Structure 1
């Protein structure tokens, strides 16, 4: 059975005149890593909220179509039970921390405690995930005093400890430096290797191209393209839509432009060469 199916789903937030998601139809297959990209207000976070069940259990609004999680409509799921199936890592690491625990160790255990996991099992899970993410030096620190990168690691640890089958991750690196970003993607890749189904919204498309199995491009609440990274990023039509492109893909498109007659390109060959040289740091 597929983890997630959306069938002709449209959604409009309360008091909004336009749809945040419109006629969305897609099946997310079990164990695959989906990279979700697109312009701001394209519907990416709304899609995450639907899959996680925040819509309609937290956000009301106008929802039509079916959002099926393991064959059951999201409307019929108990929100707490759904949290055992789907882990959600938010964009801002500073809002991910609960603020009610004094140590990182307690913070990681909070979700397990809320689910009534036995104490011995809870301790084992927390210890395992702390070692896995190499955050032993943080466990006695107050989570509210951590840096953004450290908080994001703790947020991942809290979700990994829950052992969810599905992970929805909304721009986890937006406030992180390149080194910490690389660390986060290593964690995500490790989760992929464990067979987790991953939906990742991310603007750093070079990493999306490297790690994801399939890319979804969203615009104005609709899916405009989907396919493997090579299929999506070889589509030059995305350039006219202002979509972000991996550096290698941009260079490839620009090199192809150089091979065309001048009449068919919008910039001169010298301009294109200059752009390529600049991108290569020459």
Structure 2
């Protein structure tokens, strides 16, 4: 069943004449992880802002079409109410830290305070998230004293604290080293197991191949490809639209062509080669 639907969405920013999102329709099913790829200025971040209700509420401009959350237009929700249902993580974690709390524990609790969550429940939830996001050694530190990867984990924990049904991650690993990137994707895996719907904008397609159920490809404001990860990330058209294919997939396509099964990950390639011996 669809939890979030976009129907014939078109959007033009204020003072612009050309739409940046053009006739986009899609349905997100509960509990799935969607990877979103495409070149720069393809409309990925704008689409995220439409889905979380910031367009046109805050960004203004002209929006046509329908955005439905659980069958109800998101225009019927106020921004604060919607934030409890649809969590959003910025590309830059520095912009997501509130700046009004002195410790990581308080930062994680901040959103729950604003929603009036009972104190005992809030303390229990913070303790759970400290463990999940591996922040035990950092819980009493000032959020602004943390590294980029640590800030990103705190920012994500603050979102998950509100227990949203949908979590939108806009380039969450763009400023992170490989170890911190791996940590974020482990959290994505955990959130999927918890039944969350995840909309993940990310350039690191090798990781998308491993964790995503479906892939969406954006180009010049249009949704040009959408389907199962195994179908989209083995299709060379992705490259034509400004996206990338996993390194293993590219190697197999160049070496063997699109013959039979094409692996997406190193593990799949190893299994495939071993089976052909």
Q: TM-score, normalised by structure 2?
A: 0.91
- 2:240, 2:42 → 1: CA distance? 16
**C-alpha deviation, 1:74, in angstroms:** 1.6
Q: Corresponding residue for 2:103?
A: 103
What is the CA deviation profile of residues 232-262 of structure 1, one whole-angstrom value per residue up to 9, with x for unaligned ones? 1221222333421110111122113599xxx
The yes-or-no answer on 1:126 pairing with 2:126 is: yes
Question: Contact 2:91 / 2:173 at 8 angstroms: preserved in 1?
Answer: yes
The yes-or-no answer on 1:160 pairing with 2:164 is: no
Query: Quick check: which has more Rg, 1 or 2?
Result: 1
The yes-or-no answer on 1:56 pairing with 2:56 is: yes
Question: Contact 2:91 / 2:170 at 8 angstroms: preserved in 1?
Answer: yes
Q: Corresponding residue for 1:114?
A: 114
Question: Contact 1:56 / 1:75 at 8 angstroms: preserved in 2?
Answer: no
- 1:20, 1:100 → 2: CA distance? 35
SS at match of 2:161: helix
- 1:44, 1:212 → 2: CA distance? 17
Contiguous gaps of at least 5 residues in structure 2: 260-277
- 1:254, 1:90 → 2: CA distance? 36
SS at match of 1:40: coil
The yes-or-no answer on 1:24 pairing with 2:20 is: no
Q: Corresponding residue for 1:175?
A: 175
- 2:17, 2:204 → 1: CA distance? 31
SS at match of 1:3: strand
Larger CA deviation: 244-253 vs 206-215: 244-253
Contiguous gaps of at least 5 residues in structure 1: 260-282
SS at match of 1:154: helix
The structure carrying a bigger helix percent of its residues is 1
Q: Corresponding residue for 2:255?
A: 255
Aligned length: 259
Larger CA deviation: 231-240 vs 35-44: 231-240
- 1:14, 1:66 → 2: CA distance? 19
Q: Corresponding residue for 2:234?
A: 234
Question: Contact 1:43 / 1:218 at 8 angstroms: preserved in 2?
Answer: yes
Q: TM-score, normalised by structure 1?
A: 0.89
